[in-house]
Structure formats: structure tokens, C-alpha cells
Structure 1
Amino acid sequence: MLASTLVLALAGCPKNVKQDAKTGEDGKSDGAVELTMANNEVIARGIVTYPGGDRIDWRVFELPKDQVGTMNVKVVWTPPRPGLDLQVAVLNQWNHVVQETKPLPRRSKKRKKEITVENAKGKYFLQIYAPKRGDAAKYTVTVTFATAAPVDSFDWMKESIADPPKLAAVPPPPVDCTPTQFDKKNPACASVCPMPADPAWPACAGVCPTPPDPAIPSCLESMPCPNPPDRKFKKCTPADFPPCKASMPPEEKKKNPNCDKYCPPDVIADVTNTAPDGSSTTLTMGAGKTDGVDKGWTGEIIDSNDRTIKNSKFTVTVATNQASVAKVKLPASNIPEGARVRLRAPCVNR
């Protein structure tokens, strides 16, 4: 009852509160609350409220060890008033989104969403959040897991094949050579590479041997993705690599395919100081290199409704670890108290 009253109070409050003003450690992925799966089920309950300053909850759990199957995620929520939305994202151990619920149309009365993840295995995160400024709700997220049925397989390579009997008083016919019926003494095998491949045999030049050797280019086509992943292995997909971050060194970005067309997200920061400079104003903003912001980023001043203030565009000229500085061609009197800025990276692919 107290929790429901809190959601109602916060959702109805007109005061502009920062989305994380009252969030706990579970407001970030590294503070996610650990859940334990029992009988192939996990249940998470809580409250998120954008206007109350506790917008996001993170949860983390692991599926049964060495099992692969179908994972179903269902969220049911109770908002303080009709039409409020709630979102759930499912992320893998690299914080890569694998599935996410779809936003509701405006004024929808729906209070339940459901998503399914096939071939699920290992560790997953749940990000439960209020998507819009007015959204808030008391929620229950239920995760169920069904192990995939094993598939019977027949390995014909393990079956022995008897040679046909020789004909009496008749010369044996020429023996064809195949990778599985290979004899170095057979002249027909001169141009055949046996299975498994023999690196010393001339016909096996360039063929991946057993065990495979990553120094041979053809092995890179078939070898599994190693740990840590290496993009020269063809079976390594972007999902095997960690997400690209603006703070990564250049040499690490070159090794990560997620950084090929990476453009860091916009950064919203508070204006911490304004200094009049004639008809312009020097801004100091509470975001710097630790947030990925650097010299050359562009930005604009936004009001409390996230709308751009006219003639407020600027370029960052100085960036420290915790702050950045820029000059805007706007008098200080035209900058509202408590203003924020939207900072944007100078990406080629925007």
C-alpha cells in the first residue's frame, strides 16, 4: 500500500526531478540485484518512477548451467493512472540488447507485455524502466525457461566401412581415392587431401588440418570464436565483442567490429556555471572526458521540456575529466536557471 501511494505521489508531482535523483545502486548494470532461478522461473518486483527520480531498476540472473532453451519474459504493471507505459530490455553478459518490449501507443490501457528469447543460455540482465517523463508503475517481471529438447545425431564418420572382397583370379580394379578412403601408396591420391588433413601432404597445402592452426588462413573460416574474441576469426560476430565505448583506446576500437561505425550517444548535462562575455556567454557543463565528451563536440541548450533554446548552438573548446567549456552567442540573461545542454559527438556517419 505504501509503495503504491509513493508511485501515485511521485507520478502526480509537477516538480522537475532528475531521473536518477533517488535511485539506488540498482539504477546501473554494475549494481544489478542478483536473482536466483528456481524451478526454471525468476520473479522480479519493484517500482520505477521517472518523475520520482527512480527511473531504472536492473536485475541479473543465470539460466541453468550448460542448458540452452527458450526464455519467456512477461511484465505486468500497475500505474497510478491509465495510459502510463513501462519497458523491459533483456541484455546478455556483454550488456548487448537481445530483446526489448515495444512502446505502447499513446493513451493505451494495456498493462502487460511479453517477449521471447530463443536459444537462450548463460547470464542475462533485465533493465526495467519508465520510458517517458511522466511514466511510473509498480511492476512484476516473470522469467520462465524451457530447455530445448536434445536432437539425436548420427555420426557416419564413426562407422567402419568394410572393403569389398577381392575377386579370385582377377586383377583388382583401380581404387578411387577420396578424403575418407585415402592411401598414400595409391597414385590416385596424389591430388587428394585426406580427412583429417595432413599438412605434410602436398595436396593439403592451404587446407585447415586437425587440430586446426590459426596461423593457416583457411582455419580462420571454420575455427570457433576464441575467448577473448578476435575479429580475424570468421565465426566471431559483433555480439561476441563488448559494446564500443567512447573511452576505449584507438587500438582497442580497431579490434572491435562494434566500433566500425560507432557513434557515442548524446550526453545530457547540467550547466554548472555561466560567465557573461559581451553579447555571448561562456558555459561550464558538468560532463567531460570520463563521460566521453571531448573538444570538438557540438551542443545546444535545452529547457526543462527538452526543447532547444533558439540560437544556443555551440562547440566545446575545452574538456577536462569532469567538465567541458564552450562559448554560446547568447546573452546570459537568455539562459534560464537550471538549464541543461545536449552534447553530440562529431561522427562522420550521423
Structure 2
Amino acid sequence: MTRPQHKTSDTVAAYPRRTGASEHEIASQEALALRLAALLGRRFVPDFRPTRNRGEPPPYYVPDRSITSLARAEKLGITRAADLFGGVTPHAFVATKSVTHGVVDAQAKAPQGWVRTLADDLREVVLRGFTAFTLDDAHRAGERLLKDGALRIKPADATAGRGQIVARTLQELRAGLAEQDAGAVRRLGLVLEEDLAEIETYSVGWVRVGKHEASYVGTQCLTPDNNGVPVYGGSELSFARGGFDQLRSLDLSDDERQAVDLACRYDAAVSTAYPDFFASRRNYDVAIGRNAQGEPRAGVLEQSWRAGGASIAELSALQAFMLSPSLKEVAAFTRERYGKDEPAPTSQRYVYRGEDSTVGMITKSGGILEEDDGRI
């Protein structure tokens, strides 16, 4: 029996979008959709809604979050990685930090679809930590971790480092857990993880858009937001044309090679545990630092299977490879800064600059990293 041919569209849509997305989030999603339309030779359709386009082939989707239901993805016409920029997971928790760690013991609560054996497969590629789906389980997990030093409480779906709390004592653990929403913990989980010192955070990723493919490794930086809280400030990334084998052929540092190895092992373990998962964009944050005893530690912090902070750099690199067929490697960056003192980026690098209703004044930019550029 011949399978029906996959219908293709000549459009790209910034959709789905979460309710309540702020101005800079909407601008970033649409900037990515415009660049993806150029890469694919398609047309960007603003304000796309499926109800307005019934009977037409589905667009290439650029969602602002991973799509966390196979049924919803199929309803949209998404059945393979080539149908979107991002990923599709079979359960909501798989798209969050929660999947990185196991629960504290056999009595701990876990949602339907939770693969308990994944924790053993990830043990050597992540930091010490646990995921909890009740605040009682989180307290027991925190007590165990505090025996070896400070821990970090991490809401499962928070981004840019926001909402994280460091606890060094039982009193601080109780106070940190008291700030968590019990309903959100039951639905998506809460991560408790050892806190590292002298930390460097690496981004490792792979992306495929149409026939264009690239992989990369680089470092992230922090910047103060409008409240003075350190948050994600951007990335400097080294790209290779092709997959991780091509990335490993670049002149990488030992730490970069370790970060790539850990990310690849993490990706393989999660893909085996959840075989229905698929993605065209895979990004992993890898921490290298020292634990409370001063010993070197390294591990994957979390994954991102959606348009993310590094995506403008990813698409800039893919465009460079498309325009120069002989080009094998390139450096690209993303930059996010808060406040009114940040100068406006050039038009080629512009993503957003304005007073955002959620985070305040923010400027976002990205592109190919030139030799005369300073640090991000």
C-alpha cells in the first residue's frame, strides 16, 4: 500500500503562540519566521490561524514552545521534524527541565508516561539532582542533596535562568519550596540540583531547516535584567556545516568537546526513552564547574526543542552556509540587554528594541560574528 504524499505549502507561520506572550517574545518569534521563510524560499504569513486556512496545506510552523501533544501536532498537520522549527513531545513534562533527573525514590509521585529508567541512562551526563512532582517529594529530595552542599531549586518551565533559588540550609530549602505553585509542580515538576561554583555554561545544538543543516558549540553569558537579577544575556557560537561529526572536526577546546559529548549522550538517551519525540532544532545547556568540595563537575542542565535564545544565531549561520557553498564553519552570536543605555543594533542584526510589558526595556540582536566585534 502506498502512503499518501505529504502535502507541502509555500508559507511559514509564527504559530502556535502561547496566550499572554509579551512584545519581545512575539517579535522574536516573527523575526525567526521571516528568516526561515527566506531560507526555505517560502512566504511568511502574519496572524496565521488554522481556522482561516482550512482545506489548504499546512504551513511550516514556527511555534514559540515545544508542541507537547502528538494529537495536537497531527491535527495541525505536523507529523515529522521537517514540518516545523522546534520539536514535538508526547507529554508536557518531556519538554521541560523535569526530564533531566529521576524522582527521589520508588515511593515518589510521577506522571503518566514517566520513564523511570531514564534517570539511570542519564546519571553520568547530568549533575546530581532530582525531579519532584509534589512539594513533599521535593523536600525529601532537597534534604538528601543538602548533605553534600548547596542546591538550586528550578521551576520546570522557567526560561533565561529566572525563578531559580539557591538553598544552603534546610530553612532556605523550606522557604524556597514555599514559593512554588503546587499545581504547577504536579503538572510539570520541580527540579532540585546541586549548585556549582566557577561555572561556565555551554550551548550545544543541532538544527535542520529544509536541506540546510548545522551544529554548534559555544558559551553563554549572563546580564542583569531591569531588576538587577542575572539572566541570559546571549551566546557566542562556533558552527559547522552538517552534524555533530562535522562539529567535532573543528578546532575545539577540551571543555567544548566534553560539552558536545555530554549533549549527544543526553540526546540519545531521551530519544530512546521517548521514541515518539521528534525535533528539527535541538539545544542543550551544559554546565562545567566545581561542586561544594571543589571537585570538577560537568553535566547537561536542560534541553530546548523550540525556538530559543540561540536561534537567531542558528539561522544566521544557516544563511551564511546557504550563500557560500564552500563555507565549512562560521561564528555567530545572540545578544540580549536590558535598560535604555544599550545602543540600537544595526538593521541586519535587529530583533527587538522597546519597552516590553513583562521585562521592561530590552534590546535583542544577533548575526554573524565579525572579527572586529567585541564580546557579547
Choose between structure 1 and 2 for higher RCO, CA contacts under 8 A separated by at least 6 residues. 2
Assess same fold via TM > 0.5: no
1 or 2, which has the higher helix percentage?
2
